[in-house]
Structure 1
Amino acid sequence: MVGRTSFELAWRDRPQEEAAHFNPAFCGELLFRAVNEFRQRSDLSMPLPYTFVILPLVLHPVTRRALPGRADTAFASWAAENETTLSVLPDRILRLRPVTRESLLFLSQHEAIGIGPDGVIVGARPIRLSAKPSSTTDEVHEIRRAAGLLGRWLSNQGGPAAVLQTFGVRV
């Protein structure tokens, strides 16, 4: 048990707040929103590496609020303007990697997504997304909106290597 992160613990042993915020159903919904928007914009599979930047960008309040309001914002310019905010992104991606994996597995098991050699696609049983669920908070609505925005925005970018490099992630 020594050296294990809370993400490696059984659900019953995880801190309650962490289990609530990082559960695979909620995080999976966020990933699905990004994949769905990516697919609608580009008609391509979302490269798998992109899925690992979604949660670290949308779940962190400061980073989420730094995201542009529109998907046609120049990516390199935005990244340069937000260099300080993005400087901790690679570490956050590594720390949330187990959450992303667990969420992708959850979505895949429920056939909401498919993962193939070209990336992630909407699966045979996609999640039905409503504009705004009846019981939600403004912050959760903001997180959901940001996930969709990232899907649209990333669909307008070059390959994953260039995007990840701009985010400061070594490939």
Structure 2
Amino acid sequence: MSAPYATSATPEQRALFNPAFISVLAHACATGFLARAERGMPLPYFYLSLPIALHARDRQVLPGTTGAYMSAWIRGNPEVLAGFPSRVRSLRAIISQGLVFSLRHQALAAANDGLAPRPLRRRPKLLQPTEDWSGCVKAASFMGRWLGSQQTDTASTLALWGLRP
């Protein structure tokens, strides 16, 4: 475990947002992105998508289709942007650890100016996903597909969310 994760995360965050779980979310996100964009997912998009997937209220208000215009949806849901940049900063070390875990365990690989998913091993039968766990994975996959459907560059997309690369 690297120092940034160990020092910046609270004990609760370390327990809930462990690198293996973040890796599962990153894989779902990259898989969704690849399905739409047919290329690797840009690294900054993981830092945009995963905080949304991890936040229950944000998951609940995501649009029902990737055909929704992201800029219009953001204007219609200003509560999502409230505190979003600071939440992204607070999760940066945790997401970084999850991405390193993904690369070390070959769940993701560098490809086409981004990260692309690799095949995962089957989930142990003893692992019974909770509704919240499944909701996070579903939202991560949706965010990947939604971002992969966008016709804007990475910097412009991040700016919509109040972020910069």
What TM-score bracket applies, with the shorter chain setting the length?
0.7 to 0.9
Partner residue, 1:155: 148
Deviation at 1:134, TM superposition (A): 6.4
Which one-letter code corresponds to 2:163 in the other structure?
Answer: V
**CA shift digits 1:133-159 (9 cap, x unpaired):** 961221111111101100100001121
Contact 2:27 2:108 in 1 (8 A): yes
- Report the TM-score when normalising by structure 2: 0.86
Q: Displaced runs of 4+ in structure 1, greater than 4 A?
A: none
TM-score (norm. length: structure 1): 0.84
Match of 1:170 in 2: 164
Match of 2:33 among 18, 30, 38: 38
Question: Contact conserved, 1:28 with 1:106, CA < 8 A, in 2?
Answer: yes
Aligned residues: 160
Q: What residue number does 1:135 align with?
A: 128
Counterpart amino acid of 2:99? L
* Counterpart among 57, 68, 72 of residue 67 in structure 2: 72
Q: Please, which of 57, 60, 65 is the counterpart of residue 52 of structure 2?
A: 57
Structure 2's unaligned 5+ residue stretches are none
Equivalent position SS for 1:8: helix
Give the aligned partner of residue 18 of structure 1: 13
Q: Cα RMSD over matched residues?
A: 2.4
**CA-to-partner distance for each residue in 1:45-83, whole Å, 9 max, x for gaps?**
111110111221111111121211221111111011112
C-alpha spacing 1:10/1:38, structure 2 compared with 1 (3 Å): closer
Q: Cα distance, 1:117 vs. partner?
A: 6.5
The CA distance in 1 between the partners of 2:85 and 2:153, in whole Å, is 18
Question: Any conservation in 2 of the 1:87–1:168 contact (CA below 8 Å)?
Answer: no
Structure 1 residues 42, 18: closer, same or farther in 2, change over 3 A? Answer: same
Q: Which has the higher contact order (CA 8 A, sep 6+)?
A: 2
SS at match of 1:114: strand
CA distance, structure 2, for counterparts of residue 128 and residue 69 of structure 1:
29
List runs of 5+ in structure 1 lacking aligned partners: none
Give identity over the alignment, percent: 32
